[in-house]
Amino acid sequence: MNTNELRAWAETHDVEKKTIENFWNVVNSYEEEEGEPFFGGDIDKNQLELNLNNVALFIDAWSKDSYTQYGFDFIISYLPVIHKEEDLGTYKLYFKLDGEIFDDRFSPF
């Protein structure tokens, strides 16, 4: 898959919309379940900047010794989470090549 095909895949599968929606689902679910804010301190969620930054195709387990192996190739979307010009972290949404979401992670800075 070349970059033009990857961009078309991302548009076909609404990657940007799904990544932002899933980020908010994670934040809201955490806050409901834990009873505390996802972001500590004085973070106003209404002031978060969320703009899809990258979409990348990964070949799973190039080496048999790879740390993480899913058993299939996949795509990750990267959503930087910014509050008043401060990077809070990156939300990553993992897709199978058929567009199914299979994992996600938030990596704080």
Q: What is the CA radius of gyration of the chain?
A: 15
Residues 6+ away with beta carbon under 8 Å from 71: 60, 61
Residues 20-58 have pLDDT tens digits of 999 999 999 999 999 999 998 789 999 999 999 999 999
Q: What's the pLDDT at 66?
A: 67
pTM over 0.85: yes
Spatial distance between the Cα atoms of 4 and 26, rounded to a whole number of angstroms: 30
Share of the chain above pLDDT 90, in %: 83
Q: Share the mean pLDDT of the chain.
A: 93
